Each structure stands twice: as structure tokens, then as C-alpha cells.
């Protein structure tokens, strides 16, 4: 019997000034970052304009990804920054070239239409 393999990601996003961080878990990192960039990621990330992907870890099992997410959420801010800097010294948006502004805009519009149709 074939086994379906899944990949899960724990990620850290931030705003342009790197003053606020958000840690999340997803089974589709590209889709999730597009949601954040389009303003549909979460209330918290939208409120603080958290759209820059700084860090990602990959897991084969969702339980391990969720455990890591919970662990990181309990870390002190400096610990999180040091973790990111180990792989992303300049705290750059590693998803900066994943989407064009047009793709983000189109996604935002499609989500707005979807939301309007439901109400």
C-alpha cells in the first residue's frame, strides 16, 4: 500500500522593521505566505503587517511541527532572533521573489470576491 508523504513547515514572519514576529505552522508554505502577503494570513499578522518570511523548518509529521511551533512561541525574543540569524544573518525576506505584486493583488481580489459571495 503506498504511503502519502506530507511536509509541514514551522515558519517565522515579521514586519519591515523587524519589531514584531509571528510563528505559524502549515502544510503549504507557499500558499500560507501568499495569504499573509495578501492580508489574509491571520488577524494578528494583518494587524501588524507581518509579511516577510524570515525562517522555515520542515517536518514530516504534523505532531512534530506543532510541538516545535509551541516551543518557539515560548522562547524569548532574543532567542528567536538568534535562531533566525543562524540561517538568515540579515533577517531578509526569504520569500521576496516567490510572488509578484500582481500575483499578490490577484490573490487578494479573489479572496475578497470569495468572502463577498459567502455573505
Domain spans, the chain:
8-118
CB distance 37 to 99 below 8 Å: yes
- Output the CATH code of domain 8-118: 3.40.1440.10
Average pLDDT over residues 16-31: 97
**Whole-prediction pTM:** 0.91
Q: Residues near 15 by Cβ (< 8 Å), separated by ≥ 6?
A: 48, 49, 50, 51, 52
pLDDT digits (tens, 9 = 90+) for 36-94: 999 998 899 999 999 999 999 999 999 999 999 999 999 999 999 999 999 999 999 99
Q: Per-residue pLDDT for 2 more than 80?
A: no
21 φ/ψ angles, rounded to the nearest 5 degrees = -125, 150
Amino acid at each position: 500500500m503506498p504511503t502519502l508523504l506530507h511536509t509541514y513547515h514551522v515558519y517565522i514572519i515579521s514586519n519591515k522593521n523587524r519589531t514584531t514576529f509571528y510563528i505559524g505552522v502549515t502544510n503549504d508554505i507557499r500558499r500560507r505566505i501568499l495569504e499573509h502577503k495578501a492580508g489574509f494570513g491571520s488577524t494578528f499578522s494583518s494587524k501588524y503587517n507581518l509579511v516577510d518570511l524570515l525562517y522555515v523548518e520542515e517536518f514530516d509529521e504534523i505532531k512534530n511541527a506543532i510541538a516545535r511551533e509551541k516551543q518557539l512561541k515560548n522562547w524569548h525574543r532574543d532567542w528567536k532572533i538568534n535562531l533566525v540569524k543562524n540561517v538568515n544573518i540579515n533577517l531578509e525576506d526569504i520569500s521576496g521573489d516567490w510572488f509578484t505584486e500582481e500575483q499578490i493583488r490577484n490573490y487578494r481580489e479573489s479572496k475578497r470576491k470569495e468572502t463577498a459571495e459567502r455573505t
